[in-house]
Amino acid sequence: MTTTNPYTPFLSEIKAVIKHTDIEYTFRMTFSGDAKPGQFFEVSLPKFGEAPISISGIGENTVDLTIRRVGKVTAEIFENYVGDSLFLRGPYGNGFSIDNYIDKEIILIAGGTGLSPVKGITDYFSAHPKKTKGFTLIAGFKSPNDVLFKADFEKWKKNLNVILTVDTPIDGYCGKSGMVTEYIPSIPVKNIDDAIGIVVGPPMMMKCTIDELLKKGFKEANIWISQERKMCCGIGKCGHCKIDDTYICLDGPVFNYTKGKFLKD
Amino acid sequence: MGYQINKTKMNTLFTDLLENYTIYAPKRFVGGGTFADTDCIRYGEISTLEEIEFSEKSDYSFKEVLLPISETLFYFTEAVMKESDPPLKEAIVFLRSCDLHSLNRLDTIYLKNGPVDPYYKRLRDHTHFILMGCENTFENCFCVSMGTNQSTNYDAYIKVTAEEVLIDSHWNLLDQALANAQPFTVVPDSVSINNISVEIPESIPQSVFDSTLWDDYTARCIACGRCTFVCPTCTCFTMQDLFYSDNGKAGERRRVWASCQVDGYTDVAGGHAFRENKGQRMRFKVMHKISDYKKRFDNQMCTGCGRCDDICPEYISFSNCINKVNALVKEENR
Amino acid sequence: MLDLNTKKIKKNAYRITKVRGETASRIRIPGGLLTADLLPKIQEIAETYGNGRIHLTTRQGFEIPGIRYEDMDAVNTLLQPIIDQLEINQVIPGKGYTASGTRNVSACIGSNTCPFANYNTTDFAKKMEKEIFPNDLHFKVAFTGCANDCIKTRMHDFGIIGMTEPQYDKDRCVNCQACVKACKQKSVDALSVENYKIVRDAAKCVGCGECVINCPTRAWTRSTKKYYRLVIMGRTGKRNPRLAEDYLVWTDEAAIIKIVKNTYKFVKEYIDTTAPGGKEHIGYIIDRVGFKEFEKWALDGVEFDEKTIVKGPVYWSGPHYD
Ligand SMILES: Cc1cc2nc3c(=O)[nH]c(=O)nc-3n(C[C@H](O)[C@H](O)[C@H](O)COP(=O)(O)OP(=O)(O)OC[C@H]3O[C@@H](n4cnc5c(N)ncnc54)[C@H](O)[C@@H]3O)c2cc1C
Ligand code: HEM
Ligand code: HEM
Ligand code: SF4
Ligand code: SF4
Ligand code: SF4
Ligand code: SF4
Ligand code: SF4
Ligand code: FES
């Protein structure tokens, strides 16, 4: 039989581990195939299970996976990654197509780990600032202790408009606070008909943010979102990620809002 | 080619086939039903014609032959990850017309939606399908409405009469085995009318999703999942990884049937469930069967076998729900 | 002028009532299930010889009051087709019931209708009736389909409660845990999950079958063999009413029939013939001669199934008014 088995994971070396918080680490993994921001891998731990994890950065023969420790599989990754490799399968999903955003004004709004799938987009425009007519990143975290990618923020601040805000500040924090939505009205946009909005985060945050962008005059067709759902296979078989006639794992997780708004669980 | 042979010859043929094939057919499991002294008709291995239950519809469908309820994908030892072995023998499956149409739905998901599923394919490619005719409709069938009451793409059709066995073969192997049998014109029995008929709207407006129609099911459905487990076209599964408790070093990864009706189906880490409400689960299932699948693949997912209506312990009728949706859409379009 | 042998009359299943000159006829319906065509026959007796009324007795019989003692022969004639159709053992055909001491063997509706039942209670009740009736000794036997005990077997001398030994096919299990929830919420919490499959604590399991009823995939099914819990010596009454206690768990039909029949021999041997009316109830006899002696008689020649658990010696509670 010659059919290759898409369920068979491959071994990927852990090149580096970047610790953001106690429960959120970025694992830099060897990978030399094509990968796009917004796509994801199934991290596949024999005897423990699999977890879909977004690509949070793309380098020379590496991909970054930023993982939050929440349950069985993710805990096992954190406990035993010292084995210095992980099984992966993927990449899966459509991912963001940077081409859609080139030479446009962009507001990218991310909540919490939602920054992972769009971090690649930010990295790209930070590296190629000429390819955008204005790039604003609004990133919201629960508290200053939850902020991810601190070093990257320092880098991005140099040539992008970066707003980093936390829901609940703590003593000694002197950055911005409040919901991401509060910052949207004041972002200057020259050509609203052509401006791009990209929104990723928890379901309620996404809903409010999109409402705010629409209120500001963004066209539905210019808003892009990434959806997370329960996944067991990543390849259109298990059914868990299906909404309407859409399989998030195959057709998403990135959707244009004109399509995404109809997705009803 | 059509043939007529006697039952003894047929059983001899079965014996020969068993050398290389496992034969699966609906079988009566006496005392195997839900309640005391009730039977269950479901798929099992058979070796004689007499073991096949021709007179009643099976409670569970043939799908468990191609999609085992619990199927190991990999075995793990400390160092090695090993794909599970396929069965040694090929398979023959007896099934009715609606189920043969359902095979197409399984193929679509497992062979066409995304990459080919090798575990399904390795069973599917080595399975032959024998059609069982339907002289009369069973209680809840609506195959006529779904256009699944007749089939032609079988490897063979077999009908057992009082004395004889009639066979229509599309399969060389059988033609060779029956070379000396009496030729006979055999046309599969099929029904042209059911007790139940459904009308499915061409397109279903978004408003139906938000209709109060679904609220009725919120309190009625107990989320047991029976309707989807018996369904020949439901394909969902969940992965299970485990290590054998003895040493923790060896283990396996398997997939088991899942149901969008059962708790946990949409649960993600942290405890959020995307579809908690049972009425909404009903809406999700119904829409998958009569709308979502069709939008993606051009034919209806449901094949009208009626098993979901046969089994629901709360007497929730799927076919009646389709007709309620249809009435609602008609109302909206007026 | 009436000149009656009340003892004979009572044995013939007629009652000496508080109304002078009037008796009442008791019709036994073993297993409590009858075909509707018998009802007009009962109606005819009540309307022809009784006062037109029928009492439904506690233990699933009919009692027809208001019958003149003179009409007992005629009533016996009308009773014959009922006795025949219900296949009641009878010594002299046409002469009514041969005894009344051993009461109607009653049963809940069981697997005829009830989803919880683990066996056909009526069939077993009828079988028992065939084995023990007619007999003048006062025995009450009742059959119930499951531990819900709708017939209240625990108020009987012998109560038979249906059990099944759930059979688990792990390859059919989808880990929905419907069985675990059912066992926990409706029964004894004997199930747990290990490696996504179900583990049954056999020592805890009461064989109620809730897991089988609730499993959506037939991963749980019933054992081919039927099992029973035999509870003994429950009673109501003036001195020491009490609930029957477990004697055997996971026992079978043959053992139960043998034990009940053996108990007749035990009672015959030990009954206090000087008691009022020569009547002493089994439970009090056991209290008097001791459980060990009863058990010696009861188990004579009994062969247990390998699963059977014997819970003797049995102790009872209940208030003592004496
Ligand atoms: C497209 C996509 C991208 C994601 N990207 C990231 C990321 O970059 N970083 C990150 O930390 N998390 C990400 N998640 C969430 C992550 O997949 C879950 O947190 C993870 O599966 C939890 O697994 P667990 O075994 O530790 O938790 P448990 O609670 O033990 O979960 C058990 C199983 O449930 C399923 N499951 C649970 N939660 C989710 C979920 N949210 N989404 C999908 N399946 C789930 C998985 O099959 C998992 O194996 C992403 C999810 C999706 C769908
Ligand atoms: C002279 C002796 C007795 C007579 C004539 C007698 C008669 C009866 C009759 C006619 C019934 C109704 C039966 C039926 O529905 O089929 C009955 C019920 C009953 N009898 Fe007696 N009885 C006698 C002694 C006893 C004794 C000694 C006890 C208890 C120790 C007893 C306990 C009961 C109970 C509890 C019932 C209710 C039925 C039940 O729930 O089991 N009786 N009796
Ligand atoms: C679906 C659930 C149930 C149904 C449909 C049901 C139905 C019935 C019916 C029809 C009767 C007969 C009543 C009569 O004689 O007039 C009965 C009696 C009885 N039931 Fe249930 N029952 C159910 C559950 C239970 C449960 C869970 C228990 C105990 C825990 C129980 C205990 C009894 C008892 C003790 C009786 C005897 C009634 C009496 O003495 O009047 N039942 N039941
Ligand atoms: S939805 Fe019901 S009628 Fe349709 S194929 Fe499934 S079980 Fe059969
Ligand atoms: S109806 Fe539910 S269980 Fe069946 S295939 Fe669709 S999502 Fe899966
Ligand atoms: S519809 Fe019926 S069979 Fe399906 S989950 Fe609900 S109660 Fe169970
Ligand atoms: S038979 Fe009853 S007690 Fe035993 S495991 Fe099943 S539900 Fe629990
Ligand atoms: S109810 Fe059946 S399928 Fe569900 S967990 Fe129990 S045994 Fe498994
Ligand atoms: S994750 Fe299995 S179908 Fe999408």
The residue extents of the domains of chain A are 10-92, 98-226
Domains and CATH numbers, chain C: 6-85 (3.30.70.3340), 106-163+226-310 (3.30.413.10), 167-221 (3.30.70.20)
Query: Inter-chain contact A46–B209, Cβ cutoff 8 Å?
Result: no
Tell me if the domain spanning A10-92 has CATH number 2.60.120.10: no
Q: Is B227 in the pocket of ligand 6 (CB under 6 A)?
A: yes
Neighbours of chain B (3+ CB pairs under 8 A): A, C
Please state the rounded mean pLDDT for residues B111-134.
Answer: 96
Number of CB pairs, chain A paired with chain B, less than 8 A apart: 117
Residues of A in contact with B87 (CB under 8 A): none
| Exposure string over A39-60, b if 16+ CB within 10 A, otherwise e | bbbbbbbbbbbbbbbbbbbbee
Determine A/B contact with 3+ CB pairs under 8 A as the test.
yes
Distance from CA of C170 to the nearest CA of B (A): 8
Amino acid at C12: N
Q: Any residues with CB less than 8 A from the CB of B103 and at least 6 apart, and which?
A: B66, B95, B129
Q: Is C215 in the pocket of ligand 8 (CB under 6 A)?
A: yes
Q: Is the dihedral of CA C34, C37, C39, C44 positive or negative?
A: negative
Q: How far is the CA of C121 from the centre of ligand 3 (A)?
A: 15
Q: How far is the CA of C237 from the centre of ligand 2 (A)?
A: 9
Strand partners, C200: C191
Q: What is the DSSP letter of C52?
A: S
What pLDDT band is residue B214 in, cutting at 50, 70 and 90? very high
| Closest by Cα among A37, A71, A26, A31 to A51 | A71
Q: Is the pLDDT of residue A263 over 70?
A: yes
Tell me the residue range of the domain where B313 lies: 2-333
Confirm whether the ipTM is greater than 0.90: yes
Establish whether domains A10-92 and A98-226 are of one fold: no
Tell me the CA distances in angstroms from B187 to A226, B5, B134, B156, B169, one per residue in order. 53, 15, 12, 11, 11
Distance from CA of A246 to the nearest CA of B (A): 8
Please state the rounded mean pLDDT for residues B41-47.
Answer: 97
Low-confidence winner among A133-147, B119-133, C109-123 (lowest mean pLDDT): A133-147
Task: Give the helix ranges, DSSP H, for chain C.
Answer: 6-11, 39-48, 72-85, 121-132, 178-186, 210-214, 253-270, 282-289, 291-298
In chain B, the residue whose alpha carbon lies closest to the alpha carbon of C181 is B224
Share of chain B above pLDDT 90, in %: 86
* A113-160 tens-digit pLDDT: 889 899 999 999 988 988 888 888 988 988 888 888 888 888 898 888
Q: Look up the pTM and report it.
A: 0.89
Amino acid at B231: C
* A47-103 tens-digit pLDDT: 899 999 999 999 889 999 999 988 889 988 888 776 688 999 989 999 999 988 988
Domain count, chain B: 1
Q: Best of C150, C188, C206 to mutate for ligand 3, by most ligand atoms within 8 A of CB? A: C150
Classify domain A98-226 by CATH number.
3.40.50.80
